[in-house]
Structure 1
């Protein structure tokens, strides 16, 4: 039997995770009081294999009941029942935006500022986060990308190294993405915009890609960038970083940044990393 306990920050996507796991054959329970965990597991064991994959959401909506989680986890270990913990995370800016869009209040700050509730919740959850088997940061994941990540982990059994890498191509004239950890300016590469046959194309077009990647300066830059990231990423993982956002910027975000981002995406994917790519400004004028 596979037992998955889902927890994490409110607004980080736990409800969406439950929907996707149900599609994958998990028997899902939302907002279960921690004291009922081992009793519910015993019932599932008695089903004689009819319920062999269980996912349960345990979070701060239960108020003080959440404090019973750690004794229950110990009880599971004492009974010899194996479990995994999935912790859902997201940045403060993304969480605030989601709350405002949904017009919902934070469970720990129903009448106050959303950010205060988020800070309180992070403090309460910091210990369970340390025990998490998997940490998924949904800040830059679309629902489809989140589903793909869950399938990779819980269906295909792909190794999860604890970090999701987001590559964002952008145009400086539209502003730098505020959540980038690393930003690289590729405006030193000649701009395909000034060549008529490429002006209305994007960096995903073969002609534009070959043009951008054909310069010695571009190849030198990519070699140095790959070497740096190959050094940094294992160290970020070692320090427990769950998401790395890499911004690649050119003037408009249509040609050079797109081509370079695609090349970087290919390299990091071949290295076995979980990589998500987003061309933020590719279709903007």
Structure 2
């Protein structure tokens, strides 16, 4: 999707030593891979950025063209992004959408989403950049395409339901049944990475039992995902505001999984958010008696 972060992706891959080119005409793909002589493939990974502006761009033809190039194993990475976030980005940059030069950007976004849907279905992997900052997107690419001996990637994420569910999660666990540290004045400014928060949650009778059960579940399920061919597994823990319970749960689960032989990355989506009584009183919270 135009505006979903293609330039950021190419810059990040270039920093990792890849040969990168943007908006290459489809007819030149084979020449780019094999060089001018057409005899030898590139000795380093290569990335080609394409969107609806690329000459010869055809969502039906591109996958077939890629897979017809001899001597390479191509992967299609599709960059997804929610329409509201794309609108915000276009408004910030004041750029025109390539499919709507004389119409509102939302018209172009809707048209492009429909046009590229077949390519999204044909993609080997999809990254939703809606909730990712450029540094977080670069870190995600480093995990996927950096030099890590081709090991499957496990990521533990924390988030706040009141700020929207995690869009990248394969497994999502709701921690709003735990006692909320936000309502303890001396704990409110802290986060789930601070020891007093962990000590507070440890006093909740449900804490240790929940973490032990989830650990057993994850140590059983994660290898099954990888055995099924999934290279990336993201486990998300959510609470109301994304600052206390979910953060603590993500940190502790990462520790437990490391002891079990895994190597998880940890990302806290809403950790930098300011404490808010309004957010914590969100009607989806367990404290209100209504679980969303």
Residue 96 (structure 1) aligns with: 87
Alpha-carbon contact 2:23-2:49 (below 8 Å) kept: yes
Q: Is it true that 1:129 corresponds to 2:115 in the alignment?
A: no
Q: 2:249 aligns with which of 260, 267, 273?
A: 260
The alpha carbon displacement at 1:17 in A equals 0.8
2-side partners of 1:213 and 1:155: how far apart?
A: 37
> Would you say how many aligned residue pairs link Structure 1 and Structure 2?
268
Residue 179 (structure 2) aligns with: 189
Alpha-carbon contact 1:140-1:166 (below 8 Å) kept: no
Residue 4 (structure 1) aligns with: none
**Aligned-pair RMSD on alpha carbons?**
4.0
Q: Is it true that 1:177 corresponds to 2:163 in the alignment?
A: yes
Cα deviation 1:116-172 (Å, max 9, x = unaligned): 32232222222222332332222222222222222222222465869976421x4xx
How does the TM-score come out when normalised to structure 2? 0.71
Q: Tell me: CA distance 1:224–1:199, structure 2 relative to 1, closer, same or farther (3 Å).
A: same
Moved more, 14-23 or 119-128: 119-128
Q: Tell me: CA distance 1:220–1:156, structure 2 relative to 1, closer, same or farther (3 Å).
A: same
> Which structure is higher in helix share?
1
The alpha carbon displacement at 1:16 in A equals 0.5
Q: Tell me: CA distance 1:62–1:15, structure 2 relative to 1, closer, same or farther (3 Å).
A: same
Alpha-carbon contact 2:80-2:128 (below 8 Å) kept: yes
Alpha-carbon contact 2:175-2:245 (below 8 Å) kept: no
Structure 2: stretches of 5+ with no match in the other structure: 277-292
1:130-145 paired onto structure 2 within 5 Å: 130-145=121-136
Alpha-carbon contact 2:4-2:80 (below 8 Å) kept: yes
Residue 61 (structure 1) aligns with: 53
Moved more, 19-28 or 112-121: 112-121
1:96-245 paired onto structure 2 within 5 Å: 96-157=87-148, 159=150, 166-168=157-159, 170=160, 176-180=162-166, 184=174, 186=176, 188-189=178-179, 191=181, 193-194=183-184, 196=186, 198=187, 200-223=189-212
Alpha-carbon contact 1:166-1:246 (below 8 Å) kept: yes
> Which structure is higher in strand share?
1
2-side partners of 1:105 and 1:50: how far apart?
A: 35
How does the TM-score come out when normalised to structure 1? 0.72
Residue 248 (structure 1) aligns with: 238
Residue 3 (structure 1) aligns with: none
The alpha carbon displacement at 1:31 in A equals 0.5
2-side partners of 1:272 and 1:144: how far apart?
A: 21
2-side partners of 1:247 and 1:82: how far apart?
A: 35
SS across alignment from 2:58: helix
